[in-house]
Amino acid sequence: MVIKQIAIVLFDGFAFGMLLFVLSVGLSVTLGLMNFINLAHGAFGMLGGYVAVASMQYLGLPFFLALPAAFLAAAAVSVICERTLFRRLYRSDELNQVLFTIGLVFVAAAAAAYVFGTSQQPIQVPSFLRGSIEFSGMRFGAYRLFLIVVALVITLLLVFGLELTRFGAQVRASVDNQRTAQGLGLDVDTIFAITFALGSGLAGLGGALAVEIVGLDPSFGFHYLVYVLIVVSVGGLGSIAGSFFAAALLGICDVAGKYLVPEIGSFLIYLLLVAILFVRPIGLFGRR
Amino acid sequence: MTDATAASSESFRWLQRRRRFSVYEIAFWLATVVPFFVFPTYLTLASQIAIAALFAISVDLILGYAGIITLGHAMLFGIGAYTAGLISKAGWGEPLTGLLLAGGFAGLVGFVVSFIIVRVRHLALIMITLGLGLLSYELANAMEWLTGGTDGLQGVDIWPIFGTFKFDLWGYTAYGYALIVLFIGLLLSRKLVHSAFGLSLRGIRENLKRMPAIGSNYRGHLQKIYTISAAMAGVAGALLAQTTSTVSLDTLSFQRSADVVVMLILGGTGRLYGAIVGAIIFMVARDQLADMNPQYWYFWIGLLLMFVVLVTPDGILGALSRLARIRE
Amino acid sequence: MMPDPAIVLRTEALYKRFGSLEVVRDVSLELPRGARHALIGPNGAGKTTLVNLITGQEKGDSGRIHLDGADITEVPQAARVRHGLTRTFQINTLFPALTPIESVTLAVCERERVAGQFWRSLVAHRRAIDEAFEILQSLGLAEVATRRTRTLPYGQQRLLEIALALATRPKVLLLDEPAAGVPKNESMLLFKVIEALPEDISVLFIEHDMDLVFSFASRIVVLVSGGVLIEAPPDVVRNDQRVREVYLGQARHG
């Protein structure tokens, strides 16, 4: 019996972790690449969620088209933000970057509240994702399985993309040593713009995927920002493996903590955060 | 007097001038008694502003002067508040000793935390301060038996100051008390900032890499300023507890940590008075716009933040001093 | 073995690798008191890394460092400075918003261990301020003592680099390309300043400009691919076949 409970907690936790991974991996890579602390990443996630919901409600798009719509919308908006606003702050100090991008999240949250109201947004996922799958006497949520599959596919695409494509090699080189990469003739500017768009797009996709599991309201940008930051800092900047592992760890600890000791809330997560960063400030898989 | 001594005196006099009280400072402090006479209905707000200003100064010491970015300083504020409240609940309602004890305890916690703070930088530092702040909130929430949880601390009863000045509903005592503590806090901070220690903090902020290269024990300096800042934040929190006779969880909230950083950016970091100016603007704006939907308050704050960072990263005092320099 | 009192800095088989790249290979150097030695070598030879190892900014994989007979291999950078081992940086590592008088006074106060006193006003440290001013004066920076560092022309910033190092009262001074980026006419002046440094200070400077090296060094160490190729007086080095090959293999300079 206890094994079954543990299995369910692990499963739910891992699925939540996979959601966090999709939300966070973009920020990890762009932070490692450009050292620009973009807290608006959470807002791009929120944008993706609202685009998915709105496109299904008002444009009648099916769920599986709403997801790429969320990705593209977040990617497009992020590129506009990057070109017009963010690049002025690349040489700024960290505090200014933090405050500016937080300001953007405030504005985005207020805009979302104005347009959509403050209540939770409903979403209709396809019926085959709504049930659960029985296995050895335990019920595994179909949507959670879907999340895990999507995250694993994205992980594979990212890893193969980085390791096997030429663009991937350029990204890796730029993350490793920007100045040398530039000296070798790599157009770091464009590399960053594309990577930033991809990363923000993934955040948007994550936001769209999140609606069914954790809901969507204007506070999404903040609430999940903390989780995303924990994943990125604990995992290590610029590391996909780090984000994956940290996200899984965070998801499992969060679900387990709330299941076992609900009064203590997220205390365990924050304690782990402080402890891990103290022992290894660059994150579990961080380099340099 | 040889040329050398004359020239060195010039440098020396330049350094001396830096720490003189400017006429604006004196005017400012004279103006702080105005609320007693002109805005008596706003005395409660005025004491809230004074408390926020003291808290903001404590953050300016580490953020503006030493360059430690913190998103969790409310932890120390809240510890000061709860300590002062609990001391009073335990039967000792004397405000001044309560204030010092609360500040001392917050300073102690700050000292312990400082060992962690000096070992990390950049994102890890931001996340650790954030994590510690969130952690203390959850802990206080969970320890309902001690803190009262979401209901807040009940039964806080503060005795009159020196046996004569009672804390009444009009807020005269509260404002006078908070104002004097703020003034003392500012004077002490001012002294610190214009000492050799203050210079070393600015060195740390300007170029950390150079500090060990000139033989500096910069980690020790950082621990020292963090501890002092923690004590001051604790005093500010204790002030809040004593003047309002309540302590609630929001003294430890991320909201409070974030608000104080916004105040600093508004007013300008690294100037002490920027903290005060920022606190005044923020609190007055929030009070005036309190009727507004919370959504819209965040919209304007967000826009203001973006504007200030892009256009005047030194905040309002920075912009003013640049204007003053241009006019010269 | 008794340490030789005439040798103030000695390294023993210093070794450092980054991954599979050996950046410093088995470097054993001796710097006598009052030396004016130069450290040269092609780009990427490991000169700056060697200085980083000696000053404690980076930790070597093996080897030992001795200052005045004492083993300082495990001693952190700030402590090495307090023992008299100071460096300057190839890229200006100054305090942009501070003025030269403030910067150098800070260095003096750190040396005197009074920089932690938060209750005493800075202007109470009159002797430190006077000493700082004297140092600035000896480097020709007295006129700009109260101007913010970031507003100073590059050449003066380079001099301020040296001023900061002098404020620590070094026994051994390691100068990392002190004339880097400085136009030719000014670099000669800069090196005259270096030449005029007190005789009891031992100087090891990294330089690329061969005119400066041969004019001011009494002994030259040539570092190639992390290892010492030769260590000899200028004439010997100038005529060494291997040195010529190493430098002729580089791009020709005017």
Q: Is residue C74 part of a domain?
A: yes
Q: Is residue C154 part of a domain?
A: no
- Token representation of residue B86: 């609990």
Q: Is residue A84 part of a domain?
A: yes
What does the alpha-carbon distance between residue A97 and residue A36 come to, in Å, rounded to a whole number? 7
Q: Is residue A286 part of a domain?
A: no
Q: Is residue C90 part of a domain?
A: yes
H or E element in which residue A133 lies: strand A132-135
End-to-end CA distance of chain B: 31
| Angle at the Cα of B40 from the Cα atoms of B36 and B46, rounded to 5 degrees | 75
Contact A133, A145 (CB under 8 A): yes
CATH number at residue C195: 3.40.50.300
Q: Is residue C75 part of a domain?
A: yes
| C86 touches B: beta carbon within 8 Å | yes
Interaxial angle between packed helices A220-235 and A41-58, expressed in degrees from 0 to 180 and rounded to the nearest 10: 130
Torsion of CA C80, C85, C89, C90, to 10 degrees: -130
| A98 touches B: beta carbon within 8 Å | yes
Contact A266, B134 (CB under 8 A): yes
| B288 touches C: beta carbon within 8 Å | no
Half-sphere exposure of C86 (CA within 13 A, CB side): 26
Contact C101, B17 (CB under 8 A): no
**Positions in chain B whose pLDDT score sits under 70:** 1-7, 327-328
Interchain proximity A237–B121, CB inside 8 Å: no
Q: Provide the residue type at A7 as one letter.
A: A
Contact A284, A245 (CB under 8 A): yes
| Per-residue tens of pLDDT for chain A, all 288 residues | 788 888 888 999 999 999 999 999 999 988 888 888 899 999 999 999 999 999 998 888 889 999 999 999 999 999 999 989 888 888 888 888 999 999 999 999 999 998 888 888 888 888 888 888 887 777 888 899 999 999 999 999 999 988 888 888 888 888 777 778 888 888 888 888 899 999 999 999 999 999 998 989 998 988 899 999 999 999 998 889 999 999 999 999 999 988 888 877 788 889 999 999 999 998 898 876
What does the alpha-carbon distance between residue B26 and residue A201 come to, in Å, rounded to a whole number? 54
What does the alpha-carbon distance between residue C103 and residue C95 come to, in Å, rounded to a whole number? 7
Work out the mean pLDDT of chain C and round it to a whole number: 90
In tens, the pLDDT along B212-257 reads: 999 999 999 999 999 999 999 999 999 999 999 999 999 999 989 9
**Residue C201: strand, helix, or coil:** coil
What does the alpha-carbon distance between residue B256 and residue C139 come to, in Å, rounded to a whole number? 50
> Given this model, what pLDDT does residue C244 score?
84
pLDDT-derived band at C254 (thresholds 50, 70, 90) equals very low
Instruction: Please count the other Cβ atoms lying within 10 Å of the Cβ belonging to residue C247.
Output: 16
Nearest CA to A85 among A43, A119, A132, A129? Answer: A43
| A126 touches B: beta carbon within 8 Å | no
Q: Is residue C16 part of a domain?
A: yes
What does the alpha-carbon distance between residue A72 and residue B257 come to, in Å, rounded to a whole number? 35
Of all residues in chain B, the one with the smallest CA distance to A37 is B123
**Residues of the domain holding A45:** 22-218
What does the alpha-carbon distance between residue C218 and residue C235 come to, in Å, rounded to a whole number? 10
Q: Which of A103, A110, A273 sits opposite B295 (nearest CB)?
A: A110
Interchain proximity A107–B258, CB inside 8 Å: no
User: Domain extents for chain B?
Assistant: 40-251
Q: Which chains touch A (3 or more CB pairs under 8 A)?
A: B
**Residues of the domain holding C22:** 7-96+169-248
Whether C52 shows a pLDDT value over 90: the answer reads yes
ipTM confidence score: 0.91
DSSP per-residue codes, B33-73: THHHHT-GGGHHHHHHHHHHHHHHHHHHIIIIIS----S-T
Q: Is residue A282 part of a domain?
A: no
Whether C57 shows a pLDDT value over 50: the answer reads yes
In tens, the pLDDT along C153-173 reads: 999 999 999 999 999 999 999
Q: Is residue C76 part of a domain?
A: yes
What's the total number of domains in chain A? 1
Interchain proximity B69–A233, CB inside 8 Å: no
Contact C28, C221 (CB under 8 A): no
What does the alpha-carbon distance between residue A158 and residue A169 come to, in Å, rounded to a whole number? 12
Contact A233, A273 (CB under 8 A): yes
Burial class (CB in 10 A: 0-12, 13-18, 19+), A219: middle
Q: Is residue C188 part of a domain?
A: yes
Q: Which of B134, B302, B305 sits opposite A110 (nearest CB)?
A: B302
Q: Is residue A30 part of a domain?
A: yes
What does the alpha-carbon distance between residue A143 and residue A127 come to, in Å, rounded to a whole number? 10
Whether C251 shows a pLDDT value over 50: the answer reads no
Please give the DSSP secondary-structure letter assigned to residue B153: B
**Residue B19: strand, helix, or coil:** coil
Nearest CA to A71 among A190, A207, A167? Answer: A207
> Given this model, what pLDDT does residue B168 score?
80
Q: Is residue C103 part of a domain?
A: no
